[in-house]
Structure 1
Amino acid sequence: MLNKAQLIGFTGADSEIRTTHKGKKYAVLRVATSRYTKKEGERQDFTTWHQVEIWSPGTVKWLEGRVLAKGTKVYVEGEIRHEQYTDDKGQKHYFAKIVVAGPGHELKSLDRPETNPEPEPGEEG
């Protein structure tokens, strides 16, 4: 089975490090991708926003030492996960996110590739 997503886009906010209630660190990014069409000679742009969670320890550690600033061009490779939550009014909400957590998953800055993290042992990059 294959569950793989690849994105090239721009960060919509600075990267953020969070900690679970059990003390595990992970990073969160919002990434915008876009496509365009031409209709009657006019270009129409369409932007899609993606929530990205990074759980790979080496990449989280790399992000702790720097911030991927808003507007940074990035490459993301991970898997698609679908989640749901119930709000205060009892209404269910569904969303998808890209998760960078396993071998073959990665996050790279395309603006400054020389600063990208090295894969951890057991992670492919």
Structure 2
Amino acid sequence: MLNKVQLIGFTGADSEIRTTPSGKKVAVVRVATSRYTKKGGERQDYTTWHQVEIWSPHTVKWLEGRPLAKGSKVYVEGEIRNERYTDKDGQDHYFTKVTVAGPGHELKSLDRPEANPEEPD
């Protein structure tokens, strides 16, 4: 089976690093992609927002030292995960995120490619 997504888009906020209760670090980046159509000669833009979680330790470490600023152009390769949580009122909520965690997954800056994280040994 294959679960793979590739995105090129712009960050919607500065990248952020969180620490899980078990002490593992995860980076979170919001990425906007867009498409457009022309109807009656007028351009209509459609933006889609993606929550990206980066679990790869070398990429998280890179982001700690060089955070991606809002508006950075990025390339993301990862997998799609569907999550669910129940709020305090008992309502179930569903959302989709892109996870960068396994072999072949990556996050790269397209604005400053010379500064991208190196592959781990």
Q: Distance in 2 between matches of 1:119 and 1:51?
A: 23
Aligned to 1:30: 30
- Report how far residue 88 of structure 1 moved: 1.2
Aligned to 1:105: 105
Which structure 1 segments of 5+ residues have no match?
none
Q: Distance in 2 between matches of 1:9 and 1:110?
A: 9
- Sequence identity of aligned pairs in percent? 82
Equivalent position amino acid for 1:115 in 2? A
Check if 1:4 corresponds to 2:4. Answer: yes
User: TM-score, with normalisation over the residues of structure 2?
Assistant: 0.99
- Report how far residue 119 of structure 1 moved: 1.1
Q: Distance in 2 between matches of 1:19 and 1:60?
A: 11
Q: Distance in 2 between matches of 1:111 and 1:69?
A: 11
Helix, strand or coil: the match of 2:93?
strand
1:1-125 matches, cutoff 5 A: 1-121=1-121
- After the TM superposition, which parts of structure 1 deviate over 3 Å for at least 4 consecutive aligned residues? none
Q: Distance in 1 between matches of 2:119 and 2:59?
A: 8
Which structure 2 segments of 5+ residues have no match?
none
Q: Distance in 2 between matches of 1:108 and 1:67?
A: 12
Q: Distance in 2 between matches of 1:73 and 1:37?
A: 22
Q: Distance in 1 between matches of 2:112 and 2:62?
A: 14
Q: Distance in 1 between matches of 2:92 and 2:85?
A: 6
- Report how far residue 31 of structure 1 moved: 0.2
Q: Distance in 2 between matches of 1:49 and 1:120?
A: 29
- Report how far residue 86 of structure 1 moved: 0.6
1:22-60 deviations in Å (ceiling 9; x for gaps):
000010000000000000000000000000000001100
- Pairs aligned (count): 121
- Report how far residue 66 of structure 1 moved: 1.4
- Report how far residue 67 of structure 1 moved: 1.2
Equivalent position amino acid for 2:47 in 1? T
